[in-house]
A = this chain, B = another copy of it.
Amino acid sequence: MSFMTAHATEKSTSFEAAFKEIGELFPSQFTQSDAILEHHSHGESWHPAAAPGGVFFAESTEQVSQVVALCNRHSVPIIPFGIGSCIEGQVQAIHGGLTIDLSKMNEIVAIHASDMDCVVQAGVTRQQLNEELRASGLFFPIDIGAHATMGGLASTRASGTTTVRYGTMRDLVLSMTVVLPDGEIIRTGQRARKSSAGYDLARLFIGSEGTLCIITELTVRLFGIPEEAQAGMCSFETIEGATKMVVEALQLGLCLNRIELADSLQMYAINRYSKTDLPEKPTLFLDLTGSVANVSHDLAILEELATDNGAISFEKAENKDAYNALWKIRHDALWASRALKPGAKGISTDVCVPISQLPQCISSIQDVVAESGLLAPLVGHVGDGNFHLVLLFDPDSEEEFKIAESVNAKLVRMAVEMGGTCTGEHGVGIGKKAYLDMELGGAVGVMRSIKRAIDPKNIMNPGKIFDL
């Protein structure tokens, strides 16, 4: 993207002095090689890359503590890095400094099957965890597109397709071990299922995007793998019909595990990408899990609700292969979108509104998109009111990028006016900073006070979420 100026990285002599010390302490874990700096200069988004001055591959909480204390002494910015799958520029080293890569801290420390929880290091990916858990009959339910690390998921308060049933990272973390900006190691709490003992530091740190501490270990809730899973796809003439059906299903408390929505353009993209012949209409992807009896009972009700709300088709996945194929299609939706415009980049928006506002919000933004001339397929976690438009733009056209940005800005304003948020699950990073005051007003002042109290030197991922 030639029109974009990469963020300048500041390299003070103080940074170099710190890097020298780290290199001497941990010669095999610290690097300034160009390829590795480049790899740590960006996530998976369109935001301009910004490389750190050095990367430290941590192997223990104690090492993180030691290196953070050292950076604090030298006032060196610190950016935590899991696998680099963030999409609002959270890992960009916009003020230079040291990236602490936690991907080697990938030990599953303990699985407590009776307590339905486990303890993992921050660099464990959710896929790795679920592999390990399989024999126990338990699983960790967060389901997002990326192979993210558990630390990264917590840092952005991630959620994904199964939130409608199991909640977000906010709900699934029991406690965390974190390293504070002065190097102190604390645990936010014990392993009890609930507690009223003091301020809820785990919840404060979840979603703080590395600006308050570095998460090194997490205790998370697990769930029994349901006996049965059934899925179906259900098409409508309008988004309104789909939304109305979802509201009724939620009020009835059906055993829904996923309720995903794709709009007509997304379905067109899917047909081309996944070689399918699905109706190119607003479509719900539905997943029911539970006991065989409950799933079959609730699936029948769901079909009735579909008919009552004007569905034009309801296709059940008749066997395990069809079930897997259906969810592969859904998980490939982002790639299908991108294939609509080869070579394009995309701004992946992330608003979340009260579900009653969803039809109006989607129809208004589709009007804006139509006027803009952009291609922007829509896919979303409709049970939560959260959706993503992939605003495709030519990376060599500043004009198209500016149009995409302005559509994004209009959508955020619309969502906030409807009682919604600028980000349902991607976080603020650098990409949503401009919208925080509009959404939260004076609350941002309180966030700044907390940041200053915990990180007075502003060394923890500075310039993310808000400026001080």
Complex Cα–Cα for A382 and B452 (A):
41
Q: Evaluate contact between A419 and B171: CB separation under 8 angstroms.
A: no
Q: Which residues of B contact A463 (CB under 8 A)?
A: none
Which residues of A195-231 have CB atoms within 8 Å of chain B's CB atoms?
Answer: 195-201, 203-204, 206-208, 212, 223-224, 226
**Beta-carbon contacts of A354-387 to B below 8 Å, as 1s and 0s?**
1110000000000000000000000000001110
Q: Which residues of B contact A253 (CB under 8 A)?
A: 223-224, 226, 290-291
Complex Cα–Cα for A187 and B444 (A):
10
- Shortest distance between the CB of A119 and any CB in chain B (Å): 10
- Shortest distance between the CB of A85 and any CB in chain B (Å): 14
Q: Evaluate contact between A421 and B223: CB separation under 8 angstroms.
A: no
Q: Which residue of B lies closest to A381 (CB)?
A: B194
Q: With A157-B196, A355-B193, A424-B196 in contact, is A450–B453 under 8 Å at CB?
A: yes
> Pick the contact of A251 from B116, B117, B291, B297 — CB < 8 Å?
B116
Q: With A116-B251, A297-B291, A453-B449 in contact, is A443–B385 under 8 Å at CB?
A: no
> Pick the contact of A186 from B197, B425, B441 — CB < 8 Å?
B441
Q: Which residue of B lies closest to A188 (CB)?
A: B443
Q: Which residues of B contact A252 (CB under 8 A)?
A: 224, 291
- Shortest distance between the CB of A417 and any CB in chain B (Å): 10
Q: Which residues of B contact A424 (CB under 8 A)?
A: 192, 194-196
Q: Evaluate contact between A190 and B159: CB separation under 8 angstroms.
A: no
Q: Is A158 an interface residue (CB 8 A)?
A: yes
Q: Evaluate contact between A158 and B196: CB separation under 8 angstroms.
A: yes
Q: Which residue of B lies closest to A291 (CB)?
A: B297
Q: Which residue of B lies closest to A449 (CB)?
A: B453
> Pick the contact of A352 from B186, B194, B422, B441 — CB < 8 Å?
B194
**Beta-carbon contacts of A292-326 to B below 8 Å, as 1s and 0s?**
01100110010000000000000000000000000
Q: Which residues of B contact A13 (CB under 8 A)?
A: none
Q: Which residues of B contact A446 (CB under 8 A)?
A: 180, 186, 199, 201, 454
Q: Which residue of B lies closest to A296 (CB)?
A: B293
Complex Cα–Cα for A224 and B170 (A):
23
Q: Which 10 A-B pairs have the closest CB atoms?
A: A203-B203, A453-B453, A195-B421, A191-B419, A114-B356, A192-B352, A186-B442, A115-B354, A224-B251, A293-B297
- Identical subunits present: 2
Q: Is A133 an interface residue (CB 8 A)?
A: no
Q: Quick check: which of A48-56, A68-76, A279-287, A426-434 contacts chain B, the rest being far away?
A: A426-434
Q: Is A278 an interface residue (CB 8 A)?
A: no
Q: Which residues of B contact A251 (CB under 8 A)?
A: 113, 116, 137-138, 224
Q: Which residues of B contact A198 (CB under 8 A)?
A: 207, 428, 436, 440, 443-444, 447, 465-466
- Shortest distance between the CB of A292 and any CB in chain B (Å): 9
Q: Evaluate contact between A200 and B450: CB separation under 8 angstroms.
A: no
Q: With A294-B297, A453-B450, A454-B450 in contact, is A204–B199 under 8 Å at CB?
A: yes
Complex Cα–Cα for A447 and B255 (A):
39
> Pick the contact of A447 from B195, B201, B466 — CB < 8 Å?
B201
Q: With A193-B384, A297-B293 in contact, is A187–B117 under 8 Å at CB?
A: no
Q: Is A339 an interface residue (CB 8 A)?
A: no
Q: Is A334 an interface residue (CB 8 A)?
A: no
Q: Is A156 an interface residue (CB 8 A)?
A: yes
A to B CB contacts below 8 Å, 22 in the list: A112-B356, A113-B251, A138-B251, A157-B196, A167-B167, A167-B171, A170-B203, A171-B171, A186-B446, A189-B440, A190-B416, A192-B385, A192-B424, A193-B354, A193-B384, A194-B386, A194-B424, A195-B424, A196-B350, A196-B421, A198-B428, A450-B450
Q: Is A250 an interface residue (CB 8 A)?
A: yes
Q: Given A193-B352, A198-B428, A200-B203, 8 more contacts at CB 8 Å?
A: A114-B247, A170-B203, A192-B419, A193-B386, A197-B428, A200-B207, A203-B204, A224-B253
